[in-house]
């Protein structure tokens, strides 16, 4: 006797199509529903419904432009590791740093540091100023790694 596999096959096919849609949108967030339909073999309305469900489920968080930061006047990228000076203070560093516009990303990490910040500035002097503001706002120590080049970034799902 052969075990029924149809439900699992359907789930796998659905997940496969959703993953394909996610990959396509990660490559080109402005891709039309018509083009998505052509690429996945679905109708435009079916793709629209799937994308809407992916958004509702939180798999698609938003759409944005890929910026040439050097051309936008912020050619220097650095990673700033943040560690508390006084571990008895509340861990509210993201809130304390939220309004510093040069901070592009903030990740909570395990290890000696508590957070790693991705920052973009115009010059080394701007980075020095930023580090002073981070230390003052959050009462932390910092360790900085300057990015020399970026062979790739924000790679799409595969």
Structure tokens at 70: 């050097």
Q: Per the confidence metrics, is the pTM higher than 0.85?
A: no
CA distance linking residue 146 with residue 130, whole number of Å: 13
What is the structure's pLDDT at 85? 94
Domains of the chain and CATH, by start:
16-57 (1.10.10.10), 70-147 (3.30.70.920)
Q: What is the pLDDT of residues 41-53, one digit of tens each?
A: 999 999 999 999 9
Using the CB atoms, write b or e for 63-86: b if 16+ within 10 Å: eeeeeebeeeebebbbebbbebee
Q: Averaged over 26-50, what is the pLDDT? A: 95
Largest CA distance in the chain: 73
What angle in degrees, to the nearest 10, is found between the helix axes of 33-40 and 44-56?
100
């Amino acid at each position: 006797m052969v075990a029924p596999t149809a439900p699992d096959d359907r789930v796998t096919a659905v997940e496969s199509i959703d993953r394909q849609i996610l990959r396509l949108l990660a490559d080109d967030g402005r891709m039309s529903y018509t083009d998505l339909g052509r690429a996945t073999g679905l109708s435009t309305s079916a793709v629209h419904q799937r994308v809407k469900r992916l958004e509702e489920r939180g798999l698609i968080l938003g759409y944005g432009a890929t910026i040439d930061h050097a051309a936008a006047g912020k050619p220097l990228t650095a990673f700033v590791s943040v560690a508390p000076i006084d571990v008895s203070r509340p861990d509210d560093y993201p809130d304390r740093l939220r309004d510093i516009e040069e901070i592009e990303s903030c990740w909570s990490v395990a290890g000696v540091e508590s957070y790693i910040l991705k920052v973009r500035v115009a010059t080394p002097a701007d980075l020095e100023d930023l580090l002073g503001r981070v230390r003052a706002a959050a009462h932390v120590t910092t360790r900085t790694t300057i990015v020399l080049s970026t062979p790739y970034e924000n790679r799409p799902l595969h």
